[in-house]
Structure 1
């Protein structure tokens, strides 16, 4: 099977510097322009933005200037994150709807390819009919703004298996909606990469690559936000994961999400170059995947 040219997208925390999810702040100490320029010089074709950082940048320079910077540096793919509580009721849903509106505003203004959707973190079970209906409505809202939505599978959530994720996105059955598959979440959740083949064509909307140590620290949430490694620096079978995704006919960019207490403290240009080069080396060796 022939594959499209490989284009890599640096997920937000790969280039954000010394910040992490739900930390004291998620706003990068590096300017948007400097992150985009560093990404472009390293070879990236896409970047990610979190809600707080995107609007901190909007307050300084506005969407129009952000688009100019992206286009001037050849950054073709933008992803935004992360929307949670989209299927709830009450105050949490009201807060989610506010974030939803602003994320979709940003997606439209920045011509974003997708918005990342979070499952119910810390919940054991998924109300599938409820989530199907809510995800369908969310997908239609996103379509009206010209973007996609991608639901991320996470081992510490109510969407921890491909089976559950498929039930939601296939039940909603919207052309702009599907799953986000992160190798870390699947591997730490004990999901066999062979199950990727069960996902119907078109329902994979995003991919994220990274690596991990053999033994996670506890709680697992701390492992995911502090201990990820560059692809090839851990024990995950990155080559097998890539091959399983390619076999589905996936055509989009390949995200790289590095949440590392070591990498995030490096100079910006080093973060950008190290993550890009480590990932691209793996595409050159997928015919001979590394044993886990």
Structure 2
């Protein structure tokens, strides 16, 4: 098992500073937003020995020309950082032809398409994500991103919901580990409203400090045989003022205890 860190776009520290802090905390990898790939960032990966698992993000919408151009640009960023994946999200259900073309463009550069499903979009469920994966992976490298916030909110897997775990995690238990690009791991504060976009962008929580059924989530994947990369991704307004060293330490310590 390896542990990575997916940065909050609203963190003000430089990527190089975060990479150094993550290395000290014990992380193996740090993801990077495409617009923050620069010589300083690339040098930080080299100096610390940490790897870049994925570049964020390819947004699949209804503009085919823009998508394909973005896929080529992101492939170049991934090549420069040595990333394995380009994180891919969806605002529409794309035509199969378009999805295959995007996956092929990434594959030509030696990069895989990391398909992320979310209850906030049209690719809302695990089943939706697997369907996109089967299309994209027909002739190119592709993998599924399983985000604990997205999965648990979509499945209603909260600690305070009696019996939710048994039904919520049966589908997750059926996913072959080889189909998973990586996991994104976070907890969530009790929802204040049905504005889920606000909840996911600003009110996530350190693992163990929220309401998601994380022990069952991690246990299901471990029992299934998953032994890949787990990326901590805690988008939290309450944590954004922490110094990088303290932030990385708290993220690492709260994440790894579920997986070891």
TM-score range, shorter chain: 0.7 to 0.9
SS at match of 1:239: helix
The alignment status of 1:155 with 2:155, answered yes or no, reads no
For 2:183 and 2:87, locate their aligned partners in 1 and report how far apart those are by CA, in whole Å.
11
For 1:10 and 1:50, locate their aligned partners in 2 and report how far apart those are by CA, in whole Å.
12
SS at match of 1:202: helix
Alignment RMSD, CA only? 2.0
Higher strand share: 2
1:180 maps to what in 2? 145
Could you list the per-position Cα deviations for residues 32-73 of structure 1 after superposition, in whole angstroms to 9, with x for gaps in the alignment?
Answer: 32111111001111111112222xxx2xxx3xx543321220
**Aligned partners of 2:185 and 2:231 also within 8 Å:** yes
Segments of structure 2 that go 5 or more residues without pairing to the other structure are: 157-167
SS at match of 1:80: strand
Segments of structure 1 that go 5 or more residues without pairing to the other structure are: 1-5, 20-27, 285-292
Name the TM-score, length of structure 2 as normaliser.
Answer: 0.87
1:135 maps to what in 2? 99
Could you list the per-position Cα deviations for residues 222-259 of structure 1 after superposition, in whole angstroms to 9, with x for gaps in the alignment?
Answer: 00000000111112111211122223333421111010
2:160 maps to what in 1? none
Could you list the per-position Cα deviations for residues 143-201 of structure 1 after superposition, in whole angstroms to 9, with x for gaps in the alignment?
Answer: 22122111111101111111111122113334620211101011111262221133344
The alignment status of 1:44 with 2:27, answered yes or no, reads yes
For 2:215 and 2:256, locate their aligned partners in 1 and report how far apart those are by CA, in whole Å.
11
SS at match of 1:208: strand
Residue 96 of structure 1, aligned match among 63, 67, 70? 67
For 2:225 and 2:19, locate their aligned partners in 1 and report how far apart those are by CA, in whole Å.
29
SS at match of 1:262: helix
Q: Which segment drifts farther, 246-255 or 226-235?
A: 246-255
1:24 maps to what in 2? none
For 2:20 and 2:206, locate their aligned partners in 1 and report how far apart those are by CA, in whole Å.
21
